[in-house]
Structure 1
Amino acid sequence: MPKAEESVLEIDLNALAHNFKTIKSQLTPGVKFMSVIKAYAYGNDSVAIAQKLEELGTDYFAVAYTEEGIRLRKAGITSPILILHSQPVNFPKIIEHCLEPNLYSARTLELFIRIAEKQKQKDYPVHIKFNTGMNRLGFTEVNYYNIPEKIKKTSAIKIVSAFSHLAASENWREREFTLSQIHNFSNLATQLVKDIDYEPLLHICNTSAIFNYPKAGFSMVRSGLGLYGFANDPKLNARLKPVGTLKTVISQIQELEKGDTVGYGRAFKVKGPTRTATVPLGHADGIKRIYGHGKAGFFVNGKYAPIVGKVCMDIIMIDVTQIDCKEGDEVIVFGGPQHATRFAAAGGTIPYELITGISQRVTRKIIN
């Protein structure tokens, strides 16, 4: 594998395939698989990821917003795509590009029916979300009546799935709450099937729940973070392979003496002979200022090099005093010797935020 000559996020499609197959192996035969590829496929490359997952046989895709779905359609993705947070202003675009909206309130349901009827649609596929305790989006038991009331009056739409979102499926201390969510969803779904007289796909499991609550698979599961190699659990992480490896390169090496300072605000003061390496990466690329002052570091030729001073917008300096290296050598930020979970923890955050925050100005490179 050629070494990085600039800041690059390598995206390993073999690792993606491994994760897809590993997660899918947990499912009861016949349960469908929805691949969540919102936010540029969790900071990777949504088109390349979607193409590979379509090749692997995923049944569904899910993205957060309409433009994400349109991007996939323009790239030739033909599988059904759920828009998880559809906005009424985009309903015409959703229909134009054969996307499928999540209708999570009486307002969104009514407005989408109105547009679908105006366009003379017949059985247009929509998804209904139930709020079982996450308290972000979705119909509750209190306003459930709006669903059958409006569905029975139109032939313009058809519910193809009903779903909910677990709040803490990775946390065994919240097991009672998670089981209550699953129970509430089952009750609402049972009532829905009875009221509309057909059974849509039902799904509540995310990656953690696929492993921790296998009996709650219903007829479809959703996996996002797990596809990219993370599962909020060290044992599960060990079974998965991180898809992304963030690499950069040493631009210059500085030989410093006691009393010299490094970076803005003279934040790092040299106490003795020190070698620092400057790399072309900064907080504009997603490596936030919180990682500065030695809280985190990168790997150079297999050895750990802590960040010195402040993280700049486009540049970071690392201490390579004890490392045999030269200008042009490769630097690994995460992936390989440093799991993204470890790097994220050094900044007091989680891999979700880290990997989705890698700027689009960092070159994406598809491998395998």
Structure 2
Amino acid sequence: MNPALIALATLTCVSANQPKLTEVLSALEKATSFFESTYLYLDIDGVVGFRLLQAQLGHVMKKWSLSGPEAASQFQKVDDLLRRLDFTSVKAIKAMKMNGSKYSNAFQQILHVDFWTLKPGWMQTDTKMVYTGVRDSGCFDEDFSDRCITQLLGTWEENGIPCQDFDTCSSLMMALNCADYSLSHQLLYLIVAEHKRCSNIFGARHMDSKSSLIIQHYKKIFCSNMMQRNLEIEKKDFPYFQQDLFLENVMLCGYVGFSEFYKARWLEHILRWQLQSGCFGKGDKSGYLPRGERDVFTKLKRVKRREKHLQGGCSDHMTSLAVGALGGYLHFYGTSYNIAQSLSEL
């Protein structure tokens, strides 16, 4: 490509990203204010997205690539958010420890900022990996998923050993033709296995290049199907009862490096879902599903999320997913990787 054209394309990409960054930062500032006012009432599922956001912001600070009239103020906002999140996260984790619930204690490790390590570069999903059919009866329930993940973390019992594989966990957590929340739990299982370097679940002694290739292959399978699910949700105009699943797919697949989940048109919808208080949830929407339809969907998805509905129609789980997803958008638009990818597609 002509050097002058490259320079022009770079400037165009940067200028196009800055308004999006401003909107994302504004949404994250409001969500962080909500976090600061409600942290005492949140459990793991309500805090983990903010912790992932903290890791994303830290990475953005190191890899910031934008310049121009708004870039300095945007960078300062990132720095301010990072400080606020660190301060409130420490208080939230302390409050959870004092509460001492078995569930919170088992998953404390995923609240460490170092758990959420972002890797450079982006990948693409593959439509050829989309399942032609999925299991109607579901692959596993939430309790089974929790047990398998805690076996990897080593928190399945007091002084437990990490990277254990009991109860046929690896075979089910990497089974094909699963759908909806089972898929996102399978991806989380891989994220934990990779972080803990549990090569044994892939039949290897060490986390070598072969193990890494196996992990990447399964990530691509799962996220290709999660992308297909999100496109189906979009086609239905994002019904409220599927927004939580949609956000979970964006947060996790975006985090592991699939850039297609950061579509600009999806960002517009996510920003519209934020309530005035800064949270995400039902609010006063008249379109919220009646009880009977909610029960049908819960039966179909087979995995019932732990979720707290707070004052004003706020969902702690949905808010956590939304900030994790928006932090991914900030990482995507605010670092050089997005510019390099945009240029490669010209």
TM-score range, shorter chain: under 0.3
Q: Which has the higher helix share?
A: 2
Q: Answer with 1 or 2: which has the greater Rg.
A: 1
Give TM-score scaled by structure 2 length.
0.26
Give TM-score scaled by structure 1 length.
0.24
Q: Which has the higher strand share?
A: 1
Structure showing greater relative contact order (alpha-carbon pairs closer than 8 Å, 6 or more residues apart): 2
